[in-house]
A and B are shown apart, each in its own frame.
Chain A
Amino acid sequence: MQRSTRISFFLEETGELGRFTWRFLTQWYRPRYEVAEFIRQCFIIGYRSLGLVGLTAFIMGLVLTMQLRPSMEEYGIAAQIPAIVSIAIIREIGPVITALIFAGKIGSSIGAEIGSMKVTEQIDAMEVSGTNPFKYLVVTRIAAATLMLPVLVMLGDAISLYGSYLGVNISGTTSFALFFRQVFEILSFSDVLPAYIKSYFFGFAVGTVGCFKGYRSSKGTEGVGHSANSAVVVASLMIFVIDLLAVQVADVLGLN
């Protein structure tokens, strides 16, 4: 693809994604409300991702602690491990890693599901059956992704801290109460709040990009594969962009 074609493709895609997002923002609050489908999506997107998110978070907390320990011991500040790990997990690593795992699992599955429905005319069939497919498929999935990711981040952070507690105890003895007292002593409102607020934006980005890529699927099964793949790539990239913006906004608001 030539450079000018790539640029025009990028601009066109960005414009279409903007229009798609605007359509969501102007439709989600209008009836008819697809409550049953929204609850089903919360279960699929939230509950069914818990195992993967939990396992990743646990390993992340454990490994981070084990990797930190030698350097901290060298400087004689090993006792500060719970404080440093908790700041790193709550403020940055927890939300971003959970969002990336979420983009890989949910972004691709939404892109592939809606994409295959598009190419096999199921979306048209839905429209003929008196259902607004945008509300039924898109609004429910974006809303569920937006609301479920912060919950997963919260649970992931807790599991990650537990992993860290076990990591600390591999070659030392710190009680559960002491570990978490140190954690809560160092954490403040300004550590927790921006992290959870940005999780809503991460979830919104994953849901929107997954639905957008699926909804624009074409060219049969090849197109479905491409939609799933590009949903993950674009959503992951957007997570980092949102993270960058969130840091700047938090800085301006004095929350850093």
Chain B
Amino acid sequence: MEANVVPGPATREAQPVLVIDKLFKAFGDNRVLSGFNLTVKRGESVVVLGKSGSGKSVLIKCIIGLMQPDKGSIELLGTVICGAGEATLDKIRARVGFLFQSNALYDSMTVEENLEFPLRRHWMQLSQPQIEERVLAALSDVGLAHTLKMMPADLSGGMKKRIALARTLILKPEVILYDEPTTGLDPITGREITNLMMDIQAKYNTTSLIISHDINCVKIAGHRIIVLIDGKCYADGDYAALSRSTDAKVKQFFQ
């Protein structure tokens, strides 16, 4: 059964940047996505809410092309992702940011080198002063300009998350995908990171798709919330509407 709730105001009259149609993905007998549908419009901040192991991370990895779905289609910024070649994926990835759950900072590189890495790969025409300027601007956006020469091992969990966010921002993406952005952080730092994400969304006018099971993050960041149950979009609406839902499966997330 799908519990349909009226979408929030941010979803109306905007161009879709992400269209997912009947997505299926299974690992052996474990079916994690069973006909998942989603449309995200430009400027929206959509949270996909679900239990651990419900297929949220698989979904986001399929969107960026790190995993191939078994069936269904994904169109991101007008490009069909499923079956796309390396060159096509590289082009689309230059326009999309991805914040990993584990931050995925390169251990062997300094913070500066971590931020320079995607710039040198995607925008090879940039000169060294331009690269340095962008690195400093991205670090300033997350309030960590002083960490330039530090190694990831010297940073706290919250700082690592901010640096990872700065690395995501450095390509000035149109869409940012967040995989469990507040996991492993204390509630205060988690709230700071969520607020930072929202500030970035407002400043750069990006579209956000956030995978989370942290209800505080959902409340702050979710203009629109998708509840993922049994591999499907079970409910779709804003926080106010979903938190009042009488459906037992939806209710359990908001108690």
A interface residues (Cβ-Cβ under 8 A, vs B): 113, 116-117, 120-122, 124-132
Contact = CB atoms under 8 A, between A and B. Distances in A.
Contact of B93 (A113, A122, A128): A128
Contacts, number: 46
30 contacts: A117-B106, A117-B107, A120-B102, A120-B107, A121-B102, A121-B104, A122-B104, A122-B105, A122-B106, A122-B107, A124-B66, A124-B100, A124-B104, A125-B100, A126-B106, A127-B66, A128-B64, A128-B66, A128-B93, A129-B93, A129-B117, A129-B121, A129-B122, A130-B90, A130-B93, A130-B121, A130-B122, A131-B117, A131-B121, A132-B86
B93 A125 contact: no
B96 to A, nearest CB: 8
Interface string B73-110: 00000000000001000100110001011101111100
B107 A125 contact: no
A121 B121 CA distance: 18
A59 B90 CA distance: 51
B118 interface: yes
Main secondary structure of the interface of B (DSSP, over half): loop
Given A128-B66, A129-B122, A120 B86 contact: no
Contacts of B90: 130
Nearest to A131: B121
Contact of A128 (B98, B102, B105): B98
A130 B118 contact: yes
Interface in B98-154: 98, 100-102, 104-108, 117-118, 121-122
Given A129-B122, A130-B93, 9 more contacts: A116-B107, A120-B102, A120-B104, A121-B100, A122-B104, A126-B117, A129-B93, A130-B121, A130-B122
